[in-house]
Amino acid sequence: MRRDEAGNNRSGGSSSGRAGKSGPKIQVRNANQPGWTGNVDAAKYAAMHEALLRIVPRGAPGITQTEMRNKVVFHLPAHLFPNGEKSDWWSKCVQLDMEAKGELIREKAAKPLRWHRP
């Protein structure tokens, strides 16, 4: 079973149940699953990417996932993320893609895990 961009289970069919809401897509990767790619909404990706660049510091000690999720909502456009809806899923999606591309670094020895920009 596949998951859509909101993390909901769905079958492999082509109907997403969101008639008329389909827009440009961008391909993302996953640092935890090398070789995996998926397509997500380009506008939401770009907004989240910009927000993460604003809140994730350069260099250690970085920020935790919880800090990332708590801070990112203040930097997102309301028309894409009304009341912060689905921002947790999107922050993780974009964080994993940025990590796969080398735009974020995971501090593996830190507990809890922390991320920073190079």
Structure confidence by residue, pLDDT tens digits, 2-34: 555 655 554 444 444 444 467 999 999 999 999
Q: Do the Cβ atoms of 12 and 24 come closer than 8 Å?
A: no
In a domain, 16, yes or no: no
In a domain, 56, yes or no: yes
Which residues, listed in sequence order, are joined to residue 105 by a DSSP beta bridge?
116
In a domain, 14, yes or no: no
Into how many domains does the chain fold?
A: 1
In a domain, 107, yes or no: yes
In a domain, 65, yes or no: yes
Q: Which domain holds residue 59?
A: 2-9+22-116
- Other CB atoms within 10 A of residue 96 CB: 19
Distance separating alpha carbons of residues 13 and 71, to the nearest angstrom? 36
In a domain, 15, yes or no: no
Predicted model pTM: 0.81
In a domain, 39, yes or no: yes
Distance separating alpha carbons of residues 59 and 89, to the nearest angstrom? 24
